[in-house]
Amino acid sequence: MYPLDEVLLLSLLAVLAGAETFTDIARFGQKKLDLLRRFRPFADGTPPHDTLGDIFASLDAESFQRCFVSWVASVTGTPEGVIAIDGKTVRRSGGKKDAKAPIHMVSAFAARQRLVLGQVKVDEKSNEIVAIPKLLDLLAIEGAIVTIDAMGCQRDIAARITDKKADYVLALKGNQGSLREDVALFVAEQQAKGFQDTTISQHETVDGDHGRIETRKTTVIHDVAWLRARHDWPGLKSIVVVESTRRIGDKIDSETRLYITSLALIAALVGPIIRSHWAIENSLHWVMDMVFRDDECRVRTQNAPANFTTLKHMAHNLLRQAPGKDSLRLRRKVAAWDDDFLASLIAV
């Protein structure tokens, strides 16, 4: 009665227009049947909310995610610049009755285009190490720069990125014990000597906004052949040290972060790449929470949470590509009452 393409079209249009539950989608279908029939027959109308829930619970999440990646690639082509990879927990997708943990979605985000390129579901944040290689296998990343936080600083992940003819910038923390210790010791020794024994490049930026002044000093150490040999780390070409000082009123906070990278670039170019990683927090995770109410979503049954998140990522990308300077929140509101605008979003 309800062909899958019609169900997906109904659901996507409803989410674009503000739907946050299967009940919302079902009500949208009842009210917007004439609009829906511009694109598909909908001979038997639209399904009720319980049927929608059953369909999304049964739909194979991995297959749907692969379809999403193929669709994004067909629309955007090979992504350029920084691809940030990070995870986000959909907090209310778990259940107390069956002690089911909320799902954790690991996403790849094109920082410059501000588009979701793909996502993989895992059951816990600790499983990001397993999810990241699966996500990389889905994507065409040749020529791109992949940035990942410390969870993804793994030799196998670095090798997978370089094998796909891309570069990496990986945050370095305690999960890489001996590597982190060797880098930290080497950096401390060279800083004490004024970097006399090694080749470096440095760049400093100062930003001020809303009473906050932040100074970032980026140092790239280019002599790392000894480190690459000692740890057999694929493609390693530079160590990056970012020293940030933030002043708010009389309060001053300082932080030093370490990175390893396959790039052989000067500090003035590496600094903006590292800062671009935060686009996934500010332009995706924050948007999913504040515009799509992700953390309030109570879709919980079987594959439905992962599939509903994929649907919201599709809606996010379409809203991003709409012309004009309106915010995503306003575009979503306009889609709720302007059928022509809503139809134009899926014209691609």
Q: Say which CATH number the domain at 266 has.
A: 3.90.350
Token pair of 287, please?
Answer: 């948007």
**Residues 6 or more apart whose Cβ sits within 8 Å of residue 314:** 12, 15, 68, 71
Rounded to whole angstroms, how far apart are CA atoms 109 and 247? 30
The residue-averaged pLDDT of 301-321 equals 90
Sign of the C-alpha dihedral computed for residues 127, 83, 150 and 172 taken in this order: positive
Q: Which residue has the higher pLDDT, 300 or 229?
A: 229
Residues 150 and 284 in one domain: yes
Rounded to whole angstroms, how far apart are CA atoms 216 and 202? 10
Residue-wise pLDDT for 50-94, tens only, equals 999 999 999 999 999 999 999 888 877 667 789 999 988 876 665
Cβ–Cβ under 8 Å, residues 20 and 92: no
Rounded to whole angstroms, how far apart are CA atoms 222 and 203? 14
Domain count, the chain: 2
Rounded to whole angstroms, how far apart are CA atoms 329 and 27? 21
Residues 134 and 192 in one domain: yes
Q: Which residue has the higher pLDDT, 348 or 242?
A: 242
Q: What is the pTM of this model?
A: 0.88
CA distances from 77 to 103, 168, 279, 316 (A): 29, 20, 20, 17
Q: What is the pLDDT of residue 259?
A: 95
Residues 85 and 44 in one domain: no
Of the candidates 84, 88, 137, 81, which has an alpha carbon nearest to the alpha carbon of residue 112?
81
Q: Which residue has the higher pLDDT, 99 or 74?
A: 74
The residue-averaged pLDDT of 102-106 equals 83
Of the candidates 118, 127, 167, which has an alpha carbon nearest to the alpha carbon of residue 146?
167
Q: Over pLDDT 90: what percentage of the chain?
A: 57
Residues 184 and 271 in one domain: yes
Residues 132 and 240 in one domain: yes
Residues 236 and 149 in one domain: yes
